[in-house]
């Protein structure tokens, strides 16, 4: 099988090109000798089955970040049939040095000049034909966003693949790096001969927007206002979708599944309907809101606004021993903690990596979001729901900042912060739909593993011993809840909620499904039961605890792998668990003292 690697600097549209070529077939793979998982996909190219590997974005081959070391190791120790090097056409005068480094290693290369639409608007003209002759390799102008030029690029790749010029032992990278001054001269010569760049590269629209969004005093308030408006939009549009899906799932149970299992043994019927179906269906009902959340956030991420947020937050983050990159990783953590923690590899400073990894698990990830949407819908009015969710996001930021301040002296950082602000962009419908599908696939993958296994375990604990009332205090679940009551009673969490929290250690997606199994209800009936058993103070305390306490097993495993320290992993677990209890205790007891 042929092996093709996709290489480029950060923010060149590499992931967009990878997704366009691979579609939805991408997977995460492990490579021998590399402690990092790389995205790869099998594609058909020129009659060959080829594996396309998406390498981490790097600025050059002599960097010291973990991502840059990963690329060097991969290029040195893996046979490669083709390297597709992707450069940003609007920044070619800075990015061409990476191509020259790669070319000197002797790899078969196709150069793809991305974002040609933006280069054209900026007045940049690149003579691809003459540049191709000078470099002695194919140079193709493309737009990964719209697919322009992609067939021509794949045709050039096919021609090279058919030549069977696999590279296994390239020129020593260390020897190459000694030619730094020669590379600089060669790059300048190529730019002078083949690229025309206007004296001033300004985008009036971008500049006008930045004057407002990056304003010294208005920038941060506008960012948080934008986030609140997004939550308002998500609840307004997603609410009816969630209710419609919940109604459909309820109809499926009453019209199809209950008659189907009517003659089954009582225990089997209970397991299938009150256990697996109630648990999974309750979680599934909130998928429309989760998808909508990620669709909106993908537009924000791809627009270039998150880079501005990192710039705005850099001065504040520096006071906590972090920088703007840490803030970007924290924002990524609101999607999923695992890729955000892995993303800290771009940081060369190990202390800053560790401090960032310590705060990321405190972000309100999508798994926690499912829990909060369910509790908020059950206990709070539509008028107050967006405010409550926004308050939880603000609390998440506060807890992360507090953690950074308390631990910054233990993890001192001396690395300077350099950030490139991309122009504003709007993602294509294809990009948005692909992102939504990836989230659905991620949910279905976890539903087939953690959620089903979790709800089955909860059903067993809440229905045995068989001679007692289901979900009563005499069941195994009830006994576990009683055992933890001295710890959880002071923060308003009863034994039913305690069981859900315990299973939340495995994956937060299980929490909602566990509640459905514990109460033996789903949909509106479950929400009504929850509202009758706990008040808003208990609900808020439960959500605060869920927000802060120990992340899922996947995140814990990633922290251990990335930090390469069991002691640091245990610090993360103990700190988040203890902080969760303290915050919930202060809120719950304070609210009760005020008469709520």
Once rounded to an integer, what is the mean pLDDT over residues 360-364? 93
Once rounded to an integer, what is the mean pLDDT over residues 339-368? 85
**Whether the Cβ atoms of residue 548 and residue 576 lie closer than 8 Å to each other:** yes
- The reported pLDDT for the residue numbered 110 is 95
Once rounded to an integer, what is the mean pLDDT over residues 165-182? 62
State residue 5 phi and psi, 5-degree precision: -110, 135
Q: Residue 57, Cβ neighbours under 10 Å: how many?
A: 18
Polymer length in residues for the chain? 596
d(CA 427, CA 11): 14
Q: Which of 314, 500, 336, 556 is nearest to 421 (CA)?
A: 314
The residue whose two tokens read 């405190």 is 362
- The reported pLDDT for the residue numbered 28 is 45
Q: What is the mean pLDDT of the chain?
A: 83
Once rounded to an integer, what is the mean pLDDT over residues 375-398? 90
Once rounded to an integer, what is the mean pLDDT over residues 234-252? 84
- Rg over CA atoms, the chain: 27
The residue whose two tokens read 């020593």 is 172
pLDDT band at 179 (very low <50, low <70, confident <90, very high): low
**Whether the Cβ atoms of residue 49 and residue 1 lie closer than 8 Å to each other:** yes
pLDDT band at 101 (very low <50, low <70, confident <90, very high): confident
- The reported pLDDT for the residue numbered 30 is 40
Query: Is residue 35's pLDDT more than 60?
Result: no
d(CA 112, CA 586): 56
Once rounded to an integer, what is the mean pLDDT over residues 550-564? 85
**Three-state helix/strand/coil letters over 376-416:** HHHHCCCCCHHHHHHHHHHHHHHHHHHHHHHHCCCCCCCCC
- The reported pLDDT for the residue numbered 154 is 92
Query: Is residue 449's pLDDT more than 90?
Result: no
Architecture label for domain 2-196: 3-Layer(aba) Sandwich (3.40)
Does residue 592 or residue 347 have the better pLDDT?
A: 592
d(CA 557, CA 552): 9
- The reported pLDDT for the residue numbered 14 is 85
Contacts of 281 (CB under 8 A, 6+ apart): 249, 250, 252, 253, 516, 522, 523
Burial class (CB in 10 A: 0-12, 13-18, 19+), 158: middle
Q: What is the per-residue pLDDT across 479-529, written as a single tens digit (0 to 9) for each?
A: 888 898 899 999 999 888 988 888 888 778 788 888 888 887 877 888 888
pLDDT band at 34 (very low <50, low <70, confident <90, very high): very low
Q: Where are the domains of the chain?
A: 2-196, 220-593
Q: What is the per-residue pLDDT across 114-159, written as a single tens digit (0 to 9) for each?
A: 998 888 877 888 999 999 999 999 999 999 888 899 999 999 999 9
- The reported pLDDT for the residue numbered 308 is 80
Q: What is the per-residue pLDDT across 459-481, written as a single tens digit (0 to 9) for each?
A: 888 888 888 887 778 888 888 88
Q: Are strands 125-126 and 37-45 parallel, antiparallel or unpaired?
A: unpaired
d(CA 120, CA 101): 26
Once rounded to an integer, what is the mean pLDDT over residues 269-290? 79
SS3 breakdown of the chain: % helix, strand, coil, rounded to 5?
Answer: 65, 10, 25
Contacts of 529 (CB under 8 A, 6+ apart): 519, 521
d(CA 595, CA 589): 10
């Amino acid at each position: 099988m042929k092996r093709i690697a996709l290489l480029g600097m950060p923010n060149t549209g590499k992931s967009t090109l990878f997704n366009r070529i691979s579609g939805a077939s991408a997977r995460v793979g492990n490579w021998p000798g590399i402690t990092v998982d790389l995205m790869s996909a099998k594609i058909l190219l020129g009659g060959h089955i080829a594996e396309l590997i998406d390498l981490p974005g790097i600025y050059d081959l002599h960097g010291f970040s973990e991502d840059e070391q990963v690329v060097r190791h991969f290029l040195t120790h893996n046979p490669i049939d083709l390297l597709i090097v992707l450069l940003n056409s609007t920044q070619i005068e800075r990015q061409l040095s990476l191509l020259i480094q790669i070319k000197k290693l002797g790899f078969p290369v196709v150069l793809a000049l991305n974002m040609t639409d933006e280069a054209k608007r900026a007045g940049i003209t690149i003579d691809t034909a003459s540049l191709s002759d000078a470099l002695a390799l194919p140079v193709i102008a493309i737009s990964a966003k719209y697919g322009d030029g992609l067939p021509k690029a794949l045709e050039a790749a096919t021609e090279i693949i058919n030549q069977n010029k696999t590279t296994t032992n390239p020129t020593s990278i260390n020897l190459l790096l000694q030619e730094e001054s020669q590379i600089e001269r060669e790059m300048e010569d190529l730019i002078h001969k083949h690229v025309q760049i206007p004296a001033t590269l300004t985008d009036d629209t971008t500049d006008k927007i930045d004057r407002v969004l990056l304003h010294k005093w208005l920038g941060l308030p506008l960012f948080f206002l934008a986030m609140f408006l997004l939550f308002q939009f998500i609840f307004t549009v997603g609410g009816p979708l969630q209710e419609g899906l919940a109604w459909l799932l309820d109809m499926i149970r009453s019209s199809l599944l209950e008659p189907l299992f009517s003659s089954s043994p009582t225990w089997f019927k209970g397991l299938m309907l009150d256990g697996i179906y109630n648990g999974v269906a309750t979680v599934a009902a909130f998928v429309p809101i989760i998808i909508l959340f990620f669709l909106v956030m993908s537009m924000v991420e791809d627009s270039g606004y998150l880079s501005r947020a990192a710039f705005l937050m850099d001065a504040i983050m520096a006071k906590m021993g972090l920088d703007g990159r840490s803030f970007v990783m924290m924002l990524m953590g609101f999607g999923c903690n695992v890729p955000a923690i892995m993303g800290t590899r771009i940081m060369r400073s190990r202390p800053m990596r560790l401090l960032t990894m310590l705060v990321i698990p405190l972000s309100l990830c999508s798994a926690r979001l499912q829990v909060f949407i369910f509790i908020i819908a059950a206990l709070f009015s539509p008028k107050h729901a967006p405010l409550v969710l926004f308050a939880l996001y603000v609390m998440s930021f506060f807890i992360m900042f507090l953690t950074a301040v308390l631990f910054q002296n233990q993890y001192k950082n001396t690395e300077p912060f350099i950030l490139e602000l991309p122009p504003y962009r709007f993602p294509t419908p294809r990009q948005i739909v692909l992102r939504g599908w990836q989230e659905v696939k991620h949910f279905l993958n976890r539903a087939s593993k953690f959620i089903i296994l979790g709800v089955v375990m909860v059903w067993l604990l809440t229905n045995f011993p068989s001679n007692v009332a289901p979900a009563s205090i005499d069941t195994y679940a009830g006994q576990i809840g009683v055992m933890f009551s001295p710890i959880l009673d002071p923060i308003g969490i009863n034994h039913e909620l305690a069981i859900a929290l315990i299973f939340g250690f495995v994956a937060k997606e299980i929490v909602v499904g566990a509640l459905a199994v514990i109460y033996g209800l789903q949909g509106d009936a479950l929400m009504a039961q929850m509202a009758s058993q706990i008040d808003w103070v208990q609900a808020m305390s439960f959500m605060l605890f869920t927000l802060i306490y120990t992340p899922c097993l996947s995140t814990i495993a990633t922290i251990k792998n990335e930090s390469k320290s069991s002691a640091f992993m245990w610090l993360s677990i103990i700190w988040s668990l203890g902080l969760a209890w303290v915050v919930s205790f202060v809120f719950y007891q304070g609210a009760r003292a005020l008469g709520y």
